[in-house]
Copies of this chain bind each other. A is one copy, B any other.
Amino acid sequence: MVFKVIVFGCGAATPTISHHPSSQVINLHDKLFMVDCGEGTQLQCRKFGFGFQKITGVFISHLHGDHYLGLIGLMSSMHLLGRKQKLLVFGPPPLEELIRINLELSSTHLDYEVVFTPTSDSGLQLLHEDHTLEVYSFPLKHRIFCTGFLFKEKQRPLKVPKDCISSNDLMPTQILALKRGENITLDSGAILTSQDVCVKPPDPRMYAYCSDTIYDPQIVQYWSGVDLLYHESTFLNSEVERAKQTFHSTAEQAAMIAKAANARHLLLGHFSSRYRDEEPFLEQAGAIFENVSLAFEGKIIEIPYKQ
């Protein structure tokens, strides 16, 4: 089952020639979710050939312009290009009113339904789920109300192999019992144990998005063992004081979070435009945590199952 992240923007604050403001799409079991939507995101989608009409929901972390200013334009284009399918929007409570005002001022009546769910800053909050996945928000410490997002596969049930079913002529109730982890007794008197016959599905995977945030080891509690962690790294070590003052993190601090969370892979982003060369981000984070990558516009990062 597919689980991947596509980066459309990973620059901090003001857009530059090198980086667009924050936006990603998460493809989880072919359901598409956007996280943050900085100015120009719809253009980035077009540039990378991504059809934004397929998006089920948009998650906005906070109301700094580089994380939400592309949302109204995206929603408007979805409408102009014929969207009928409902759009889920999740974000800080005032975002709902902001959307309403913008649509009202332009006399736009969307041809599709928008279902808005406000995020909250009280712990892990389940925002969305279906039979295979869950999306949560969790609080981040930034200058204004801000949350991260956790994308999580649900644990798939045990599987009884087809040849086991046919060779033992298993009834549906017996199959279900084995899947529940129970043992069953066949007509012959033989016992089939769930542990022996069932195939264990792979461990469910997790992706955590943390931007923007000060260095805050507390957040690890929400997704310990995460498979992929996107953590902001606005600054390098030399600006560690500035990072603290502005409620941002350094590459090294992002790596410390990844290490504390026992993450499998760390993706760095939200780079300040002051840096021309981003290799030092990799070096400074890499000294703490080995499996680290730099985000860039157009990057696709797959989240494989654990071996």
Q: Which residues of B contact A39 (CB under 8 A)?
A: 39-40, 42-43, 69-70, 73
Given contact pairs A43-B40, A80-B14, A101-B101, A65 touches B73 in the complex (Cβ within 8 A): yes
Nearest-CB residue, chain B, relative to A70: B39
Contact of A13 among B46, B70, B80, B107 (CB under 8 A): B80
Q: How many copies of this protein are present in the complex? A: 2
Chain B residue nearest to A39 in the complex (CB): B73
Chain B residue at minimal CB-CB distance from A104: B94
A42-B39, A69-B69 as given contacts; A144 in contact with B106, CB under 8 Å: yes
* A98-124 CB contacts (< 8 Å) to partner B: 98, 101-102, 105-108
Q: Cβ of A17 < 8 Å from any Cβ of B?
A: yes
Cα separation A51 to B307 with both chains bound (whole Å):
52
Give the CA-CA distance A144 to B17 in the complex, in Å. 34
Chain A interfacial residues counted at CB < 8 A: 34
Q: A39-B70, A43-B40, A107-B143 are in contact. Are A65 and B102 (CB under 8 A)?
A: yes
Q: Which of A1-44 contact B (CB under 8 A)?
A: 13-17, 20, 39-40, 42-43
Q: How far is the CA of A209 from the CA of B190 in the complex (A)?
A: 87
| A284 interfacial contact with B, CB 8 Å | no
Cα A46 to Cα B273 in complex, Å, equals: 13
Within the complex, the shortest CB–CB distance from A273 to chain B, in Å, comes to 9
Q: In the complex, are the beta carbons of A65 and B106 less than 8 A apart?
A: yes
A63 touches B98 (CB 8 A): no
Interface residue from B15, B20, B102, B107 paired with A98 (Cβ < 8 Å): B102
Closest beta carbon of chain B to A298's beta carbon, Å: 15
Say if the beta carbon of A76 comes within 8 Å of chain B.
Answer: yes
Q: Tell yes or no: A72 within 8 A of B by CB.
A: yes
What 6 additional pairs, Cβ within 8 angstroms, besides A14-B42, A14-B80, A17-B47? A16-B46, A20-B43, A39-B43, A65-B102, A69-B72, A106-B144
19 contacts between A and B (CB under 8 A): A13-B77, A14-B80, A15-B42, A15-B46, A17-B47, A20-B43, A39-B39, A39-B40, A39-B69, A40-B43, A65-B72, A65-B102, A66-B73, A69-B72, A69-B73, A98-B105, A105-B144, A107-B143, A107-B144
